[in-house]
Amino acid sequence: MKNYYKKSIAIIAGLLCSLTSFSQDFTEGVFVLNEGLFGTDTASVSHFNESNVLENDIYATQNAGLDLGNTGQGMGFTEDFTYVVLNGTNAVKVIDRASFELVTTITDQMVNPRNIAIYEGKGYVTNWGDGGVADDDYVAVIDLATNTVIETISVVEGPEEIVQKGGKLFVAHQGGFNFGNTVSVIDTSTNAVEVISVGDVPSALRIDENFLFVLCSGKPNYADVETTGALVKIDLSSFDNIDTFTFPDIVHPQFLGLDDTDVFYMVDSNVYKMDISATTLPTSPFIDTASENIMVPYGFNKIDDKLYIGDAVDFVSEGKVFLYEEDGTFVSESIVGPLPNGFYKYEVEELGVQDISTSIITLYPNPTSGSFSLTTTEKVNVTLYTITGQKVKEVAYTNQAISIAGLRAGIYVVQLEQNGAVSTQKLIIK
């Protein structure tokens, strides 16, 4: 009960914008996921605030020194929670987005999990399954209201990055311990899967309103036949409209960044910039990083007006992050945890068609101590869950206050279902 009370106070303070100097708020800024050394619980998260001030190992700081886990692989966000995918731990950590305190850990049906995408109250996690088995790969579907896996979707070998747009999931099949050359398209309304052929080893995805960009790194020199990389641009209005930009000779590009006008990628330690409407690949780097002496590029992204490069250094030591302005000007070099492999920022989740009717319904009073109501006069099916996913109350709202008698103080997830549309909100009981 004391822990619930502490979390309630933190949430209330955040909502009122009155955090004291002793509190931490991680709702804004850029997160660095540090993979850590494989086989050890050395994964960590670093955080750049809005002034680009860096704080390392925020999970341990906010959770009394607890380890995050083994091999951090991906991150995702909702309005209230941060999700960290831990490949070696076979788990997804659910973390309060404001305080970065642990809420719960999802381990059910997580076998070599890789990355996560979020859409309409569900999390979609790519899983390799047994790395030595070619036909057991899948996407696990998590109900984010209960933090439970409700189903799995079988896909071909080596699902890696996953993004979504308008109810479609796009999964890059890098190939696991083999070499893939496809992107799966999953319809979230039916779980139907179709496959698009791309170049060898699709290693990165970025998506905007009109196009899906797929960076294919090509087969490496230790493969049966080494192949060059390609940048593939897929029209979202028709998956048959595909532009493929093949790199000359044998080149192995990696990583992707995207903004409104340009796509960014790396070759060796240099950054290249290509106009979204361009018909040819650039021939010279946008940023030559030789003066920064980046040793092993390990992560990259374009977020707002900054470019972030992660350096694995020697794969054992603490990693580095190199920050650049969007015009290519070098800003800073920072020390982070081992193997910084990804850069993330919370973006407001795209609403699906079914979310619209329930998105304007709110709970009041919130916090509450006796009952709560909804800002609608229509019937709504209401289900309350504890923050760890236990169902504690189910009732049909008919414009009468809902009693919370018998429920302990704490934070609850309230699921609202109206005419087939489902949304979730957070309720604080004092």
> Model confidence over 238-292: pLDDT tens digits?
999 999 999 999 999 999 999 999 999 999 999 999 999 999 999 999 999 999 9
Q: Which residues contact 15 (CB under 8 A, 6 or more apart)?
A: none
14 phi and psi, to 5 degrees? -65, -45
**268: nearest Cα among 244, 288, 242:** 288
Percentage of residues in the chain with pLDDT exceeding 90?
A: 80
Percentage of residues in the chain with pLDDT exceeding 70?
A: 92
Q: What is the pLDDT of residue 20?
A: 34
Q: Is the pLDDT of residue 161 over 50?
A: yes
- b/e for 181-217, b at 16 or more Cβ within 10 A? bbbbbbebeeeebeebebbbbbbbbbbeeebbbbbbb
- Burial class of residue 16, CB neighbours in 10 A (0-12, 13-18, 19+): exposed
Q: How confident is the model at residue 426 (pLDDT cuts 50, 70, 90)?
A: confident
Range in 208-222, 233-247, 280-294, 412-426 the model is least confident about: 412-426
Pairing assessment for the beta strands 138-143 and 122-127 based on DSSP bridges: antiparallel
Half-sphere exposure of 317 (CA within 13 A, CB side): 10
- pTM for the full predicted model: 0.81
